[in-house]
Structure 1
Amino acid sequence: MNLSLEELRQSNVIAPEMVEALARQPMPEFPGHDPIAHRHARADHLKRLRHLMPVSGPIPDLVTEEGISVDAEDGSPIPVFVYRPAQSTNQTHPVAVLFHEGGWSAGDATDEEFNARRLARDLGFVCLNVEYRLAPEHRFPTAISDSWRVVNWITRNSSSLGADLKKGFIVGGSSAGGHIAAIMALRSQKESLSPPITGQWLSAAYLVPFNQVPEKYQRQYISPSENTNDPVLNGLSEQGELGLVVGVFGADIHSPLFSPMATAYYPPAIKGPDAGFLAKAFIQVGGLDPLRDHNLIYEKILRQEHGVKTRVELYPGYGHMFWTNWPEMSASKKYSEDMIAGFQWLLS
């Protein structure tokens, strides 16, 4: 997607529907000084909205659900929730591994369960919904290493779940979950994961740290400083970004386990005979989101410098994670339908 600066700025004009939704239901103020209190207040807020989601609860006639665990690097159990089509016979299915949002320090698998159910019901996926461990109790790189363990586990155990990775092996998530998915896709390429990841769904993802924007894209990296009206992130200042990424999560911001802009990946490390094997990418992001330009610039990098096939859905006037915080909006319903269409495209 190639937008002019004026078009980018027009996309951060708040949509009338978003104004009306905020008037009905203002975004609550969560305690910002205490990550644990923030986590619990945020979970309570989202739980009150869950009945408005596209699939608000289990659908046992159509999708089976079970909990399993995968061993982490230190031997701790990583809970993973598995969703499968209930009516399958001997047919095998593509796989989607989902990672929830929450800034690496909040959220849980319930944030992705409605997407997992829809993907199993509507597209026949076997979905693995990962409960990676959270900061500050478990700091970087725990969330990344937990997620990588699950991705590796499914390459060895797909047949036990009725899955066939050659039919599709997609990683995805929103916000911090989208960041994790991007790292999984890059790491799988670098380490020659077999079978390879074939698709990545990056939704409002954290992708391009402010101090690692390639020079050619710096003029287009305006959303973190200009999208100050976002009702969820309220503008992601450099100080606030470092406070979350380094202070709470404890990340090494230049590590290839954290940054898609790390020297292991950018400049592109896969030119030559292996070029073009990086997973195709489907990206969704709101125009009002401070992370908008993380996503739009990363799409250009993937497409222009890695030779990756990409597809983008931009929602002008809507902010970060609008579909979960105001699921009754028409734009939120469109987002959900676009997600299904995007996963179909990733499989094509």
Structure 2
Amino acid sequence: MGFRPGLKGSLEEILEAGKNQLHHQPPVNTSDAPVQFYDKKISQDVTVRVYTPKEKPNDPVPLGVFGHGGGFCGGDLNSDDKTARYMAEHVPCIVVSIDYRLGPKFKFPTMLDDFETGFNWAYDNAEKLGGDQSKVFAWGCSAGGTLSCGLAKRLAEKGQHKKLIGIMNLAGGTMHPGNVPDHLRDQYKAVEENAVDVPIIDRHVMDTFNRAINANPHDTDYTPALSKNLKDFPKTYSVACGLDPLRDDAIIMDSELKKAGVPTKIDIYPGLPHIFWVFDGLPSTKIFYENILEGANFILS
């Protein structure tokens, strides 16, 4: 199966093309659907979508706080609905998806602030939601993966790391090309290897998003692989895509966490672009979904 060309142009053109390529209809609740959902405004700035499996056990189930993709400038609660729904049904677990504010209107770390607000609400209300407060994890696709790692970093700094049983970073960035320590330079090659002529996102798209949100290369909220508190991160599952300029972000994060003594698991997909699983007809998409279920079982075990 061939891929569409990568996103091009200005930020506005990239976001419009992304909408056209990756458009998702809003989900509809039906009585026979295996997962039910509702939206709830939890603060002036943050709305969440709560997914509950219809066949949920009587006992509390794990609760996953989810961040959608979109380069911090696009996406919404519908963007990764299929992935959120899959996890809710098959883990099974409660999924709380966070509708965080976006760039370029808002700058980083507003997105992480909103994600943390959503996490705190979900954690505090875990029992009411049917979730197990001792099994709360953070996860996300692309930008949402970055937010999950950033949340773990913040909780580690505050001495609250035990609130998270694990994180799942599905192709999210954990580094910034403007701040690569010498000891990691030989490992950080994907930004050049996949700079041009790759599907979905290339170096231009990555840099455009970074500029739009004023991403600070030295802010470890945005570059959690460089955190001084990695030893206090929870179990971590990562996904890296071979034709992705962010490929080595996930690989380096996995390696640095291992060095810090954190249990990790990673799946690498050679020859596939950023968030390839949005293409339903791709054979590797089925494998991806099977693997993230194993990843969830890993962090929850």
TM-score calculated relative to the size of structure 1: 0.79
Number of equivalences: 299
Q: Are 1:115 and 2:66 matched, yes or no?
A: no
Aligned equivalents of 2:35, 2:206: Cα separation in 1: 38
Query: Which amino acid in the other structure matches residue 198 of structure 1?
Result: I
The partner residue of 2:221 within 249, 253, 257 is: 257
The partner residue of 1:327 within 259, 276, 280 is: 280
Distance 1:329 1:243, change over 3 A: closer
Q: Deviations over 1:115-148 (max 9, x none)?
A: 2211221112010011101111222221111111
Q: Are 1:21 and 2:9 matched, yes or no?
A: no
Aligned equivalents of 2:41, 2:176: Cα separation in 1: 32
Q: Deviations over 1:313-332 (max 9, x none)?
A: 111111111111x2211011
Q: Are 1:244 and 2:209 matched, yes or no?
A: yes
Aligned equivalents of 1:192, 1:34: Cα separation in 2: 38
Q: Counterpart of 2:37 in 1: which secondary structure?
A: strand
Q: Which of structure 1's runs of 4+ aligned residues deviate more than 6 A?
A: none
Q: Counterpart of 2:64 in 1: which secondary structure?
A: strand
Structure 1 gaps of 5+ residues are 1-19
TM-score calculated relative to the size of structure 2: 0.91
The partner residue of 1:318 within 257, 266, 272 is: 272
1:16 corresponds in structure 2 to none
The partner residue of 1:299 within 250, 254, 258 is: 254
Q: Are 1:70 and 2:37 matched, yes or no?
A: no
Distance 1:58 1:310, change over 3 A: farther
Q: Deviations over 1:127-181 (max 9, x none)?
A: 0011101111222221111111111112211111111121x21111121111111
Query: Which amino acid in the other structure matches residue 112 of structure 1?
Result: D
1:33 corresponds in structure 2 to 10
Distance 1:242 1:121, change over 3 A: closer
User: Cα RMSD over matched residues?
Assistant: 2.3
Q: Are 1:346 and 2:296 matched, yes or no?
A: no
Query: Which amino acid in the other structure matches residue 266 of structure 2?
Result: V
Distance 1:182 1:29, change over 3 A: closer
1:157 corresponds in structure 2 to 125
Report the Cα offset of residue 41 of structure 1.
3.7
Distance 1:119 1:261, change over 3 A: closer
Q: Deviations over 1:58-90 (max 9, x none)?
A: 56432221111221xxxx231100001223364
2:18 corresponds in structure 1 to 42
Instruction: Judge conservation of contact 1:189–1:196 (CA < 8 Å) in 2.
Output: no
Query: Which amino acid in the other structure matches residue 129 of structure 2?
Result: L
Query: Which amino acid in the other structure matches residue 246 of structure 2?
Result: L
Larger Rg: 1
Aligned equivalents of 1:194, 1:102: Cα separation in 2: 27
Q: Counterpart of 1:147 in 2: which secondary structure?
A: helix
Instruction: Judge conservation of contact 1:200–1:280 (CA < 8 Å) in 2.
Output: yes
Aligned equivalents of 1:63, 1:113: Cα separation in 2: 11
Instruction: Judge conservation of contact 1:101–1:173 (CA < 8 Å) in 2.
Output: yes
Q: Counterpart of 1:136 in 2: which secondary structure?
A: coil
The partner residue of 1:205 within 166, 172, 197 is: 172
Instruction: Judge conservation of contact 1:198–1:278 (CA < 8 Å) in 2.
Output: no
Q: Counterpart of 1:283 in 2: which secondary structure?
A: strand
2:182 corresponds in structure 1 to 215
Report the Cα offset of residue 244 of structure 1.
2.3
Aligned equivalents of 1:59, 1:117: Cα separation in 2: 13
Report the Cα offset of residue 251 of structure 1.
2.5
Q: Are 1:284 and 2:239 matched, yes or no?
A: yes
